[in-house]
Amino acid sequence: MRAGLLVLFVLLVEWSRASIAQQPRLALPALLVGGAALAASAIGWPAERLGLGTSRFGLRILGGLALGAVLVLPAAARSSAVPLLPAGLAVAAVAVSVGEELAFRGALYAALEELGGAPVAVLGSTLLWTLAHVLSHPPEFLGAVAAAGLLLALWRWACRDLVAPILGHVIADLAL
């Protein structure tokens, strides 16, 4: 029940955000409000169940930097440069990436893990993450989106950590 409601809420927020962001001058508010709404889905979960914590913090940060670099690398390799997001969108990018990680690899992952264990959590959160990006991305990008989701979910499972996926996602969104 809780997992089902979470899925509905998160997908609704993501699809609304993507639709509203297409409207002239509404992109920034849509990203900021959408990011906050996604983050709200983690309310009520203990930090440890979300993969948040301070133990082995150095390794978590190092992992986040590495995940970010891997996510940005294909684009950097194509253009021999890291294209940077326009400064005005930086705050929105941080809000959305933190919100998405708290929602998908945080609350949804925890709810799905309760439901069917780690395989359901990894595959389910990846599938939902890909579905959530259907409206904001052209179809040909969804393979890369799914693969990024799988990588982040596998890190979440293997290391029981959400700090690195958050940091990696923030780096990737600031760059692209």
Partner 1 sequence: MAVAALLYAVAAWTVAPGFYDGFGPPQPYNWTCPPSQAGANSPPSSGHLTIKVIDGVSDANSAFTDDGQLVIGFLPGAFVVDGKSSITVDVKPLGSCPEPAGLRFVTNIYQVTASASLDPQKAANLVLRYSNLEPDPSNVYTATDPAGPWSAMARSQQGQPFTIETRTTRFGYFAAGYPASAPPPGAVTIGGGQALPIIAAILVAVVVLAGLPLAVMRRREKRTQR
Q: Which positions touch partner 1 (CB under 8 A)?
A: 18, 21-22, 24-25, 27, 31, 56, 59-60, 62-63, 65-67, 69-86, 88-89, 92-93, 96-97, 100, 133, 136-138, 140-141, 143-148, 150-151, 154-155, 158-161, 164, 169, 172-173, 176
Whether the CB-CB separation of 2 and 19 falls below 8 Å is answered with no
Distance (Å, rounded) from C-alpha 70 to C-alpha 44? Answer: 32
Whether the CB-CB separation of 146 and 126 falls below 8 Å is answered with yes
Nearer to partner 1, 4 or 143 (CB): 143
Min CB(132)–partner 1 separation in Å? 10
Nearer to partner 1, 43 or 81 (CB): 81
Distance between start and end Cα atoms, the chain: 36
How many angstroms from the chain centroid is the CA of residue 13?
13
Min CB(157)–partner 1 separation in Å? 9
Nearer to partner 1, 73 or 115 (CB): 73
Whether the CB-CB separation of 109 and 153 falls below 8 Å is answered with yes
Min CB(68)–partner 1 separation in Å? 10
Nearer to partner 1, 105 or 133 (CB): 133
Min CB(156)–partner 1 separation in Å? 11
C-alpha separations of 133 from 34, 44, 114, 160 in Å: 13, 25, 24, 24
